[in-house]
Structure 1
Amino acid sequence: MGDPDAEEAVLLIHGFGANTNHWRFNQPVLAELVPTYAIDLLGFGASDQPRARLKDEPERTDAVHYGFDLWGQQVADFCREEIDRPVRLVGNSIGGVVALRAAQLLDNQCRGVVLIDCAQRLMDDKQLATQPAWMTWIRPLLKTMVRQRWLSTALFRNAARPGVIRSVLKQAYPSGINIDDALIDLLFQPTQRHGAAEAFRGFINLFDDHLAPELMEELNIPVDLIWGEQDPWEPAAEAKRWAQTISCVRSLEVIPGAGHCPHDEAPDQVNPVLQRLVKSESDQQAT
């Protein structure tokens, strides 16, 4: 690693199905304060899209096991080899879990993590106790079905249509603000690449992987939370519980009226929070 006293940088990590352009309203603003990077996770955006290998499938040279260890290692390698200075990781949705895993791998190079509507991963086996009783009965069938590549590919192709993307965004962005043609296009275009369905297959088969609270329990760096009040998928109530019970969580900012991606839906409210967090750390380094 480079000079530990060097100016801190920020790395932005997108959520499922998104890419670096999902930080379109945030990266330019943060870049006015500190060097600010964004990364396409393997399988998404403009990154490589190798074939998915599930945990119990035989290894092969052209396939990878998509998961938080893989993505966390990718982020850690990028920070060491390209950023080469202390870094603060900012992650939305599954990007938050990736940020936490990368923070573990980076150790002292990571100065802190900001989670924006971090994925709670309610379908993980370790979350089964929180699910309705009927889920226990259908779970074996569900797991068998989503393993089938023909089915996961069909599901992906059905979802990867502009009209469906717009419909999902209306759930994710309850205010409807910033659901524009540019957003539809930045989410749609990567789905048309040859291997796009593979990361989808890998992700929907992640039934036993890292959970954010478990990762946070092992961190001794500050974690700040930013959450959309109306997130339909990752309830703000759980974020409040994290803030009350996990020692490394330093702050929680709830964004009124916003959903799962408040950084893009309400950047006028999220950017000042991010700026404040980044600036306070930069000021501390300078003293």
Structure 2
Amino acid sequence: MRPIPTELPAAAPRRAELHAKPRWDHEGRDWPNRESSRFVQAAGLRWHVQQMGRGPLLLLVHGTGAATHSWRALAPLLAEHFTVVAPDLPGHGFTETPPAKRLSLDGMAEDLAGLLRVLDLAPVLVAGHSAGAAVLARMCLDGAIAPDGLFGLNGAMLPIGGLAGRLMTPFAQLLAGSRVVPRLFARFASSDSFVERMIADTGSVLDPAGIEFYRRLTCSPGHVASALRMMGNWKLRPLAAELPRLLTRLVLVSGGNDKTIAPHDAARVHALVPGSRVVTMPGLGHLAHEERPHEVSDLIIEFARHGGLLPPLLAGAAE
């Protein structure tokens, strides 16, 4: 496994993105786990990637509208046992924005596979939050990765049903096609309470530092536009239809107070995927892995020990 290359010179940005995307020397000035960050050219994009720790390779993939800050507490805990690799998805955080049509489930899965090929990485475990779980499931089904286990952390792996589902994609496409909406959203995000309300609406409670990193991202029109385009391009029906043939062992971690992805969706996915398992975290919201990183870390480490990926814990020994 080759180490991640050293930082590359910044690619020449398109004029429209010059000040729209988060800047590493400004928004990233004190980014969580900054010392583990590198910039890598792959799949036609300049990626922000973090790597830390030693041991079996564990890939972390964040959800829509987030970035590597989402793993700020969880990644160092896992790095005590694993080599942890966490990229910013295309268009998110500090990774370059691809053409709009690539901000789709298939496009992101293909581009992330391209990044792994450049880095010569083959993860033995993968964990994805929200839409990140769908990206990883797509990669497993396509044979792009073959991990021993997939952790879906409040995974968004099923299409939204009913009228909301029929309206959401066209509405997101409409918003994403506007040059004005992302800038207005970013302007609202700079207010004191906007991001706090947005986080509260997920059912989660974050510390001030966690809220601040989300504010930095949502104050970036480029980041917001990518999240909207991703939602507008997102089609989960094909993935849902193929889930019954997912061979990777699937663990569905569900926050009992998740107001973004209904907790019963985990039970629905569990019914589709043979051998899958559901773990409920009562009282936690959509960002459960940020609220209780130690508990999520323990789940992943326990899974790895049981599967022989990590040595068993000796009797009487502490983690």
TM-score tier after normalising by the smaller chain length: 0.7 to 0.9
Is 1:43 the counterpart of 2:80? The answer is: no
State the AA in 2 paired with 1:252. V
- Secondary structure of residue in 1 paired with 2:283: coil
Structure 2 residue matching 1:172: 3-state secondary structure: coil
Distance apart, 1:208 and its partner CA: 3.5
Deviating more after overlay: 32-41 vs 261-270: 261-270
Structure 1 contact 152–197 (Cα < 8 Å) conserved: no
- Report the Cα distance in structure 1 between the residues aligned to 2:173 and 2:77, rounded to whole angstroms: 45
d(CA) in 2 for partners of 1:198, 1:41: 13
Gapped runs of 5+ residues in structure 1? 54-64, 124-129
| Equivalent residue number for residue 149 of structure 1 | 178
Contact 2:62 2:132 in 1 (8 A): yes
Q: Which among 66, 74, 78 is matched to residue 115 of structure 2?
A: 78
**What CA distance in whole angstroms lies between the structure 2 residues aligned with 1:85 and 1:143?**
34
Instruction: Describe the SS at the equivalent of 1:253.
Output: strand
1:11-59 C-alpha deviation (Å, 9 max, x unpaired): 1111111111111121111111111111100011111124524xxxxxx
The corresponding residue for 1:214 is 241
Q: Would you say the 8 A contact 1:87–1:111 is kept in 2?
A: yes
1:163 is displaced (CA, Å) by: 2.4
Partner residue of 2:129? 92
Task: Give, in whole Å, the separation in 1 of the partners of 2:290 and 2:223.
Answer: 23
* Mapped pair 1:66 → 2:103: yes
**Does residue 269 of the first structure (1) align with residue 299 of the second (2)?**
no
Q: Per-residue displacement from partner, 1:151-179 (whole Å, max 9, x unpaired)?
A: 542563355335211111112244x3xx2
C-alpha deviations, 1:179-238, integer Å up to 9, x for none?
222212222223444632331331232253556533422321211111101111211112
- Amino acid corresponding to residue 153 of structure 1 in structure 2: P
Report what 1:60 is aligned to.
none
Q: Judge conservation of contact 2:172–2:228 (CA < 8 Å) in 1.
A: no
User: Is the 2:254–2:281 Cα contact (8 Å) retained in structure 1?
Assistant: yes
Question: Structure 1 residues 243, 80: closer, same or farther in 2, change over 3 A?
Answer: same
Cα–Cα, structure 1 residues 260 and 36, in superposed 2: closer, same or farther, change >3 Å? same
Alpha-carbon distance change, 25 to 171 in structure 1, aligned in 2, over 3 angstroms: same
Displacement of 1:95 in angstroms is 0.7
Question: Take 2:98 and 2:169, find their aligned partners in 1: how far apart are those partners?
Answer: 27
RMSD, aligned α-carbons: 3.1
Distance in 1 between residues matched to 2:79 and 2:187, nearest whole Å = 37
Name the structure 1 match of 2:77. Answer: 29
Shift of 1:111: 2.5
Match of 2:199 in 1: 169
Q: 1:80 to 1:257 in 2, by over 3 A?
A: same
Taking a change above 3 Å as real, the CA distance of residues 163 and 51 of structure 1, as seen in their structure-2 partners, is farther
Q: Is the 8 A contact 1:66 1:199 kept in 2?
A: yes
> How many pairs align?
260
Does residue 131 of the first structure (1) align with residue 168 of the second (2)? no
Corresponding residue SS for 1:46: coil
Q: Deviations over 1:70-129 (max 9, x none)?
A: 211232223333252343110001111111112234456432211000114544xxxxxx
* Structure 2 runs not aligned, ≥5 long: 3-54, 313-319
Does 1 or 2 have the higher relative contact order (CA < 8 Å, sep 6+)? 1
- From 1, 7, 10, the counterpart of 2:58: 10
Match 1:242 to one of 269, 281, 285: 269
Residue 104 of structure 1 aligns to which amino acid in structure 2?
L
User: Secondary structure, in 3 states, of the residue corresponding to 2:148?
Assistant: strand
The equivalent of 1:199 in structure 2 is 226
Which range is displaced more, 95-104 or 37-46? 95-104
Distance of 2:123 and 2:212 partners within structure 1 = 33
More helix by share: 1
Pair 211,253 (structure 1): closer, same or farther in 2 beyond 3 Å: farther
SS in 1 for 2:213: helix
Give, in whole Å, the separation in 2 of the partners of 1:79 and 1:144.
29
Fraction of identical pairs, as percent: 21
